[in-house]
A and B are shown apart, each in its own frame.
Chain A
Amino acid sequence: MCYVKLGAKSLDTSGRGIPFKFYTAYYLSFYSRRRAKTLRDLLEGIKAADKNTLFHHLFHTIRSKHLIPPKYTNDFAHWVGEEVGDEELAAALSDISGAEPATIEDIRREIVEILEPHADDRAGRSEFVFVAMEPVVVETNYVANTLGEFLDMLEVVPGESIVYHFVTRRVLDGTGRNDFSTWLEKNFGLAEVAESLSRIDPLMYNSEEALRGAILKTLRRWLL
C-alpha cells in the first residue's frame, strides 16, 4: 500500500480546534445470575446475555488484568477448551473477529453460528459463570490539541484509557467507531488514517500495551 505521509512538520495543526480529551475506565464486575453446565447451556446463555455480559467475556482479555491463559482470546473459548476439552471448537471460538464495524450483536451472531452445531450435553469440569460489567469512567489529565500532542499522549496515557476509547466506547456505548478514528476524521479530515486504525482487531491483542503498540505503529506509518 502506498501511504501519503503528513510528515512530522505538519503535526502542529489543531485542525478544526476540537481537543481530544482522554478518559479512562475501570470496570465493576457483577454476577449475572446465569451459569452453564453444558455446551447447550452456554449457547442459551450467550443468546440471552445482555451486551454488558457479552462485552465482559469477549473483551476483558485485551486488558492485561485477564485471568485466563493467553492462548484464548475470550472466556467462552477458554471454558470450551479447558473445561469441556473440545480443542477444535475452542479454536473456532477464539478466532472470532472483534474489528470494526462489528457490533456486539454481530459478534453474538458469529459465536452462535459457531457454537450451535456443537451445542450438546457435554459438560465442563466446572460451571461457566456469566459475569456482567459496568464501566466507571474517570477523567485523566491528558488533553491533546494537535496531532503531535495526540501522538505523544498515546504513548503515555494509561493503558485502560486506550481500551476505553478504542474498544469500550465503540462496542459498549454503541458509537460504532473507535474515538481515535472519529476524532482524526472529524477534526482533521484524515479519513484514510482513520480507516486504517479502524481495521485493527482488538481481539488480536492480549494486553493494553500490545494494542497501544499496534495503534501507534499505524499512526506513525501515516503521520511521521
Chain B
Amino acid sequence: MIEKYAQFVGEDEIDAIVKLAERLQDLSILHVNSTAAGGGVAEILNRMVPLMRELGLRVDWKVIRGDAEFFTATKTFHNALQGTVRDVPSHLYSVYEKWQEINANELDLDYDVVFIHDPQPAGLIKYRKRGKWIWRCHIDLSTPHPEVWAFLKRYVSMYDLAIFHIPEFARDDLEIPQLLIPPSIDPLSPKNKELPPTTVERIVAKFDVDTERPILLQVSRFDWAKDPLGVVEAYRLAKRHVPDLQLVYLGSPAHDDPEGEAVYKKTVEAAGGDRDIHLLMLPPDSHVEVNAFQRAATVVMQKSIREGFGLTVSEALWKSKPVVGGRAGGIKIQVIHGVTGFLATSPRVAAHYVTFLLREKEIREKMGAAGREHVRRNFLITHHLRRYLMAIAYATGRHRR
C-alpha cells in the first residue's frame, strides 16, 4: 500500500521511509489513545498503524477505557488546558488517577517504544516498566489552566520525549526534549480520495444543499473552541453581498465529548429559521460525506478560537479550496495568509475574506492550487510517518549513522 503514495510524494520519499524503518525493525512499538473513532487522533492512527506494520514494524494500538465520569474529567482537562474552562472540580483529579491505574492493570504496556496520545492516557507513564515513552500532544498548551497543567506536568516530565504540533504549543517549563511534528491527512482515505462529480452532487443534494449555489463550509465538532456562533455571524455578513450563499456546518460527535450537544443546540438557536443554514450532525464514520461537502464547497472556513491543529484545513486545501481560518494553533501554518487562504480573527474580517473569495474566482482557484501544493509538501501521511520514524530513531539513539 505504501507504494501507492509515490504518486503524491515521489518514489524517493518512499525509499527514505523504507530505509528509516529498516533501522527500527527489531523494536516493538505501541500507540495508546482514548478513542477508536471520532476526532483527528483516531483518524490518523487508523491509517498510520497499518502503514507502520507494512514497513515491517511491530506496532500495536490500544484504546484506554473509562466511564462517563472519566470522560467528563478528561474533557474538562482538555478544555482547561486549551484555556477555555476556569473551574475544575478537585475530585476530577482522583477520577483521572483511578482510571490510569485501571487501564495500566488491564493493558500490556511492555514495549520498546510507547506513544501516548494526548492527556487522557498520559498518566500511564507512572506504571512504565521499561522502554522509551513519547508523549504526543495534539492540543494547544500555550496558555493552560495552571492547576491542571501542574497536575499533568508531573506525568509529562517523566517521558523521554514530547511531541507538539507547532512551536507555540511547546513548554518552557518542560526539561525533556520537545519535538515539533504536525499531523497529516491521508490522500487515499475515504475522506480525501478523489470522488466523481456525480457522487459529490448526489451526496450533497441528499442533505438539501444546492450545488448550483455557493457553499460556505465549516467541518468541525460542535465545540465552543470552533466558534460556531462566529461562523453563523460571518455567514450572515457575507450573505448581505451574496444573497444565494448557503452555510453548511458539518459536525460529528465523539464519545469523549459530552459538551457537543449543548453547543449544537445553541448553534441551532443562532441559526434561527434561515433555510440556507444547514447544521448537520453526522456519525463519526461519515468520511465520504465530509469529502463530498469539501469538494462541493466554494470557500471553506475554520474559524477556530483555539485549535490543536485543525486538520480539516488541510483536507480542504488538498481539495484545492481556499480556507478562511482563525489565527489559532496549527491553522497558522496551513493557511499562509494571502497564499493558501486568509487568517481572520473576527466574524467581520472572516466575512470580508469570504466575500472576496466568493467574488474572485481566479484568485480562489490560484489559492486553491497553492493550498493543495502546500499540503502535498508538508501535511500528507507519508511525511507524518517519516517524522514518527525519525522520532523513534531519536528516542532510541538511532538517528545518527
A interface residues, Cβ below 8 angstroms from B: 24, 26, 28-31, 33, 35, 64-65, 67-69, 82, 126-127, 129-131, 134, 136-141, 157-158, 160
Q: How far is the CA of A24 from the CA of B17 in the complex (A)?
A: 12
Cβ–Cβ contact B168 & A68, under 8 A: no
By a CB distance below 8 angstroms, the chain A residues around B401 are 137
Contact sample, A vs B, 12 pairs, CB 8 Å cutoff: A31-B170, A64-B377, A69-B336, A82-B337, A127-B168, A136-B20, A136-B390, A137-B400, A139-B19, A140-B15, A158-B13, A158-B16
Question: B308 CB to closest chain A CB, in angstroms?
Answer: 16
Cβ–Cβ contact A136 & B167, under 8 A: no
Cβ–Cβ contact A134 & B394, under 8 A: yes
Q: How far is the CA of A127 from the CA of B142 in the complex (A)?
A: 11
Closest to B175 in A: A33
Q: Which of B15, B16, B336 contacts A26 (CB 8 A)?
A: B16
Contact A29-B180, Cβ < 8 Å, known A65-B377, A68-B336, A69-B339: yes
Q: How far is the CA of A33 from the CA of B33 in the complex (A)?
A: 27
Cβ–Cβ contact B167 & A134, under 8 A: no
By a CB distance below 8 angstroms, the chain B residues around A134 are 394, 399
Q: How far is the CA of A31 from the CA of B171 in the complex (A)?
A: 8
> When each residue 191-222 of chain B gets 1 if its CB lies under 8 Å from chain A and 0 otherwise, what string results?
00000000000000000000000000000000
Q: Total number of A-B contacts with CB less than 8 angstroms?
A: 75
Contact A67-B336, Cβ < 8 Å, known A26-B386, A141-B15: yes
Cβ–Cβ contact B333 & A67, under 8 A: yes
Closest to B173 in A: A33
Question: B174 CB to closest chain A CB, in angstroms?
Answer: 8
By a CB distance below 8 angstroms, the chain A residues around B180 are 29-31, 131
Question: A143 CB to closest chain B CB, in angstroms?
Answer: 14
Contact A140-B167, Cβ < 8 Å, known A28-B399, A29-B179, A29-B180: no
Q: How far is the CA of A67 from the CA of B399 in the complex (A)?
A: 25
Q: How far is the CA of A134 from the CA of B400 in the complex (A)?
A: 10
Question: B62 CB to closest chain A CB, in angstroms?
Answer: 26
By a CB distance below 8 angstroms, the chain B residues around A64 are 377
By a CB distance below 8 angstroms, the chain B residues around A136 are 20, 390, 393-394, 399-400
Is B96 part of the contact surface with A, judged by Cβ < 8 Å?
Answer: no
Cβ–Cβ contact A33 & B172, under 8 A: yes
Q: How far is the CA of A19 from the CA of B25 in the complex (A)?
A: 30
By a CB distance below 8 angstroms, the chain B residues around A131 are 167, 180
Closest to A141 in B: B15
Q: How far is the CA of A24 from the CA of B10 in the complex (A)?
A: 14
Cβ–Cβ contact B164 & A31, under 8 A: yes
Quick one: which of B162-187 are within 8 Å of A by CB?
A: 164, 167-168, 170-172, 177-181
